[in-house]
Amino acid sequence: MGTVRHYSSQDRLSIENAALIMIDHQTGLLSSCRDIAPETLTNNIMALAQVGLFFKLPVVLTQGGRGGMNAGGPLLRELVEAFPDTPVIDRHFPNAYDDPNFRQAIQDTGRKKLIMAGCTFDYCLALPAMHLAADGYDVYAVVDASGNWDALTTQATMIRLAQAGVIVCNWVSVWGELHRDHDAPNDPEIMAVMAKAYPAMGWVANNWMYAQGKYPEQKLVRDKPVPDLREGS
């Protein structure tokens, strides 16, 4: 059983201490995932990628073997397009941790907090995540941007990871921990990432933008002036 870790201010993710690691989001592997609907999984993967892009995090991309010319297939097209200048570490090691190029790429980020997602969650993500946690990294396993064979396997893997000291989370919690201040000048842009990924939350974001005066001007047509509802408050 892993040691219980008490959260402290030093544990917070920040744009200065975090890197994004995306493992084996390959079309062949993704097609076998049954714990999350395909459209939701793709949406979550790309939302996490957009968070990494927005906050300019160092990014490591890797795939399992032969340039995608195997059963695993190539990396998700949208993911490759999102990071056109990021090299893809092409492995013959099933466990990414065993690949020296992968370990070196992580070391080269200079970051100790690793936001990791991978397909499948129980193997491609879990094995390197546990190794890296043992090496002293703070690993955040993003479960809803990973994908797995079935829900039961995902649940078992979450328990195993937590016992190994890995922090299991979702992409929204990563977004929220990195985005510190709604008064920041870039708040509308990062809220737009949320709005695109979660339309229902997008409506909430609309309310917030409107209240902040960061909303498109509306040309109202009325037969009498708009009352000031704040009068007398």
Active site (catalytic) residues: 124
Q: Please state the φ and ψ torsions of residue 113, each to the nearest 5 degrees.
A: -110, 120
C-alpha to C-alpha distance for 112 and 18, rounded to whole angstroms? 7
Distances (CA, A) of 77 to 80, 83, 105, 142, 196: 5, 10, 22, 20, 19
What distance in Å separates the CA atoms of residue 123 and residue 129, rounded to the nearest whole number?
Answer: 10
Residue written as tokens 């920040």? Answer: 14
For 58-91, give the DSSP string.
-EEEEEESGGG-STT-SBPHHHHHH-TTSPEEEE
